[in-house]
Structure 1
Amino acid sequence: MPLPGENAKCESTLRRRIRYSKQVVLAMGASLGMATMGMTVTWPNALLRDLRVNNATLMGTQLHLAEWQKDLMGSVVFVGSLPGILVAGWILGSLGRRRSMAVGAAPGLLGWILVALGANVSMLVLGRMLQGFTLGMVSVAATTYITELPDASIRGFACVLPTLFAEAGNLFVASLSLVLPWYHLAFVCASVTALFIVITFLLPESPSYLVFCKEDARALKVLAMLRGPDASVEEELRILKKQNEGLAGDNPGWRSLLKGAVVRRILVVVALFLVQSFSGLMVFVSNASRILRSVGSALDERHSTIVVFGVELLGCACSCCLQDRFGRRRSVVFSLVVMAAALVAMGTYVFLAGSAAPAPVEVADLPAHALNSTFYLHVPRGEDDLVEVGTELSASMMREAEAGLAGWEWVPLACLVIYMFVMCLGIRTVPYILASEYFPTTIRPQATSVCMTFASFIIFAALQTYSLLLEALTQAGLYWTYGAVATGGALFSLVFITETSGKTIG
């Protein structure tokens, strides 16, 4: 017997491919909103890198950011996402999935314009808060919409598309930052957000939502368009209604979240988000250029960042093809095990590099002729291993400072590339998938918004405490800590993740 959403009658290969292609195209349209999320998260790399060279704004003012303000450029987005997530949990049930995506994207458009015109830190923070509202609302709306749209046999592929588009947004921003200053880049991101708003009006409404609203005629019409002429859409409609009577009971909505089965599923998803953030994921995404500069990457930091985000995009593309084959649990476990190995190797390299580094040089010990010019000294101070004192250090002195690990400069970039690739195969994508798949249509927006709310708190904590943990644990210790979290997360996933691949979800 075919799964709900699959064709009961004999279907030609060509018709099946056309049907799948139609569902994927619609999912890609909704996923464009997640591309704006990727651009939002990655944009601080361009800002902070440009400010080290020229801190002038488009309006002619000067920007000076303290270390905690640099962290804030990444973390404040996830503070702004909290009201967006909560509003999404309420509004998805009244406006529907499609219109909620359009409404949620509008504040982000305003946020990008504010950031582009930002003349001071306050304008940047306000703009980033508005971008965060869009990130929260669109992530819930788009994830819910894409989960409810496709056949069960390709749902894993479709549900990875938002992450794939988010990584494409990362790479897009990293690449354009080579030729555009941060404020012009913000205008480009605003244009992409405006395009997404237009596309939402071309998408059909989710059939599951229409069933929930008792608009059976419209639901049948959308299902017929999605499933093709060979499918028994009436049977799928009946099964959708029946499945939503389970976890939600007679009181669908927020009160249904207090049911024991629902609470347990929410706790599992929240734990996965905790593992995701404190194994370093968002820290590496938001601070890739700072980290690569601090560990002494063999490549220029701009090109290294593009390599990292390019590999991340490739990892998400592979995840699209593997999710339905390997399932959610195995994907997460595999990714976390390999991530832990990469983090331990990276921490070991940084530890050995710090041990081999020359002793700090005091300004008072410099020759007299150096005191009238600027140069850069290698000093062991955690995040930045280059401290500006005056003019450039000679090439021979730079080589002497790194002589202890000569020939091994490729290690940190290689470790980060491996980390970024494998995390996209599992822990990067699966928590977002399960946050939607674990719950039926009647409570999906509310349950997903609760999971995403906790995720935003966790990501904010991971980003805002980055500099503090770096100082307390040292760079090597921080990477080893991330590796320990990844190892614990792999064991947790083996025990507690319930497989949803290929199963109907209502």
Structure 2
Amino acid sequence: MKYNKTYIFGITLVATLGGLLFGYDTAVISGAEKSIEAYLVKPLGLNSLIHGATVSSALIGCIIGGVISGVFSNRFGRRKTLLIAAVLFFVSALGSGFPEAIFFSKGQPSIGLLLTFNFYRIIGGVGVGLASAVSPMYISEIAPADIRGRLVSFNQFAIIFGMLVVYFVNWGIAFGQSIDWINDVGWRYMFASEAIPAALFGMLLFLVPETPRYLVLSNRDEKARSVLSRINADKLRAEAIFSEIKQSIGRTTERSRIFSYGKMVILIGVLLSVFQQFVGINVALYYAPRIFESMGAAKDASMLQTIIMGFVNVVFTVVAILTVDKWGRKPLLITGSVGMAIGMFAISSLSYNEIIGISTLVFIIIYTASFMMSWGPICWVLISEIFPNKIRGQAVAVAVAAQWAANYLISSTYPAMMEYSGALTYGFYGLMAVISALFVWKMVPETKGKSLEEMESLWKK
């Protein structure tokens, strides 16, 4: 098919900055976590429970952002919702780095200062929730059908890349500095550094168009035709796509109710999100150094092994990008589920027999590589493309909110589960991987090469 590749990839690059900020915002706390404890928590005599709540406060905002993303993307449009997310990222970056500014003085650690810091982190979390839902949605509504999977997968790559970028930024800020300087000043620069990519994201969004699907949904047909003509070099093809969209959406500006196409499509979207988290990936990412230390690695060695995992994440996300539109969504998801099950069951067995060594690292790499080439990017691809045009905003919001809630549940229960039994904990994640494969095999439709309008016809049937 003929389309304007430079224009499409340029638009996608701007949209994936939302994914980069998603990764940046969720990972920036890793470098500042101990300083927050030293500067805001310990001087007030607060316990580790408050420290944990402070570190994870952004997750509250993520759930809120996921819930409201449907309302915002339908009312303001996909592009303006991303612009709102960019503003929230920018405000959160500066506010988290300099929470005293609200008091117009540096002041001393206080409950008010701690609450202000948490408020700004929650604002950033709302931005993450909005971007996590709307960035892949925006890309899927812009992209031609035969490369849509690849382009949406770029968003997952941007998330992982954003995490790597902030790890290096945090390291660069702290390098050669005293602990006292980092605890007093350095952590501020870590948070404030996010303002730079947030500002860039906001400015570049003024250069990209609204999606043609939303424009038709808003009765701006000529504008939709104009965008489709720029994307598709073949004018007849652009007009054919416009006709498909128009027929799919109809002539009314009314959005359909969320269950207009039945409950099954919503259930599949929610289960895709839940399984992506229930296989335990964020446990592997958030607690990787602790996992390696608990299995006998020294602290420095555990950090090195975490870096190796980060490299594996990037490489196998690229594998997904290169294969998603060739092999299809279902084969990649099922293959990934099998690989994750093998990795987790092996780690469970090693934990049960108290075997510690290079074999543990090998199976964790098998597990994370399997996730990154499958459920990491492909889940976002499917969530962005399986829902019919009329309910896409609402349905994506429900699925993304379910994902963040599942993320919180799995991450927060991991320490308690590990205290009970490491073997059973990893065995549980392996079992979830097996069930996820069966779920994809039986319930998830293949979307490779299908237009968004063709997917709608499937649910009508």
TM superposition score category, shorter chain reference:
0.7 to 0.9
What are the Cα deviations for residues 304-334 of structure 1, in whole angstroms up to 9, with x where unaligned? 2222122111111111111111111111111
Give the alignment partner of residue 72 of structure 2, picking from 91, 99, 104. Answer: 91
Percent of aligned positions with the same letter in both sequences? 23
Give the alignment partner of residue 225 of structure 1, picking from 212, 220, 230. Answer: 230
Give the distance between the partners of 1:250 and 1:419, measured in 2 at CA.
Answer: 47
TM-score (norm 1): 0.78
Distance 1:418 1:66, change over 3 A: farther
How far is the alpha carbon of 1:74 from its aligned partner? 5.8
Distance 1:307 1:190, change over 3 A: farther
Distance 1:144 1:220, change over 3 A: same
> What is residue 497 of structure 1 aligned with on the other side?
444
Give the alignment partner of residue 415 of structure 2, picking from 460, 467, 472. Answer: 467
1:38 corresponds to 2:23 = yes
Counting only pairs closer than 5 Å after superposition, residues 54-453 of structure 1 correspond to structure 2 as: 56-57=38-39, 62=43, 66-69=47-50, 71-72=52-53, 75-117=56-98, 121-181=114-174, 182-229=187-234, 231-245=236-250, 252-253=254-255, 256-259=257-260, 261-297=261-297, 300-353=301-354, 409-453=357-401
Give the distance between the partners of 2:301 and 2:405, measured in 1 at CA.
Answer: 33
Amino acid paired to 1:127: Y
Q: Is the CA contact 1:42–1:285 (under 8 Å) kept in the aligned structure 2? A: no
How far is the alpha carbon of 1:422 from its aligned partner? 1.4
Q: 486-495 vs 412-421, which deviates more?
A: 412-421
Please give the secondary structure, in 2, of the residue aligned with 1:428. Answer: helix
Q: Is the CA contact 2:219–2:253 (under 8 Å) kept in the aligned structure 1? A: no
TM-score (norm 2): 0.85
Give the distance between the partners of 2:21 and 2:93, measured in 1 at CA.
Answer: 10
Distance 1:138 1:411, change over 3 A: same
Q: Is the CA contact 2:348–2:422 (under 8 Å) kept in the aligned structure 1? A: yes
Give the distance between the partners of 2:306 and 2:189, measured in 1 at CA.
Answer: 19
Give the distance between the partners of 1:300 and 1:282, measured in 2 at CA.
Answer: 20
| Number of residue-to-residue matches in the alignment | 428
Distance 1:205 1:96, change over 3 A: same
1:26 corresponds to 2:11 = yes
Q: Is the CA contact 1:75–1:460 (under 8 Å) kept in the aligned structure 2? A: no
How far is the alpha carbon of 1:121 from its aligned partner? 4.7
Give the distance between the partners of 1:412 and 1:70, measured in 2 at CA.
Answer: 30
Give the distance between the partners of 2:342 and 2:445, measured in 1 at CA.
Answer: 25
How far is the alpha carbon of 1:101 from its aligned partner? 0.4
Q: Is the CA contact 1:81–1:129 (under 8 Å) kept in the aligned structure 2? A: yes
Structure 1 stretches lacking a partner, 5+ long: 1-5, 8-15, 354-404
Distance 1:127 1:345, change over 3 A: farther
> What is residue 424 of structure 2 aligned with on the other side?
477
Structure 2 stretches lacking a partner, 5+ long: 100-108, 175-186, 454-461
Runs of 4+ with deviation above 6 angstroms: none
Please give the secondary structure, in 1, of the residue aligned with 2:59. Answer: helix
Give the distance between the partners of 1:412 and 1:123, measured in 2 at CA.
Answer: 41
Amino acid paired to 1:217: E
How far is the alpha carbon of 1:217 from its aligned partner? 1.5
Give the distance between the partners of 2:277 and 2:445, measured in 1 at CA.
Answer: 21
Amino acid paired to 2:247: K
Q: Is the CA contact 1:76–1:460 (under 8 Å) kept in the aligned structure 2? A: no
Distance 1:460 1:64, change over 3 A: farther
Give the distance between the partners of 2:383 and 2:31, measured in 1 at CA.
Answer: 31
Give the distance between the partners of 2:380 and 2:365, measured in 1 at CA.
Answer: 22
Give the distance between the partners of 1:486 and 1:269, measured in 2 at CA.
Answer: 17
What are the Cα deviations for residues 195-230 of structure 1, in whole angstroms up to 9, with x where unaligned? 211111111111111111221211111111111256
RMSD: 2.6
What are the Cα deviations for residues 70-125 of structure 1, in whole angstroms up to 9, with x where unaligned? 65356433321233223321122232211110112222222222332365653443
> What is residue 457 of structure 1 aligned with on the other side?
405
Q: Is the CA contact 1:45–1:288 (under 8 Å) kept in the aligned structure 2? A: no
Please give the secondary structure, in 2, of the residue aligned with 1:502. Answer: coil
Amino acid paired to 1:226: I
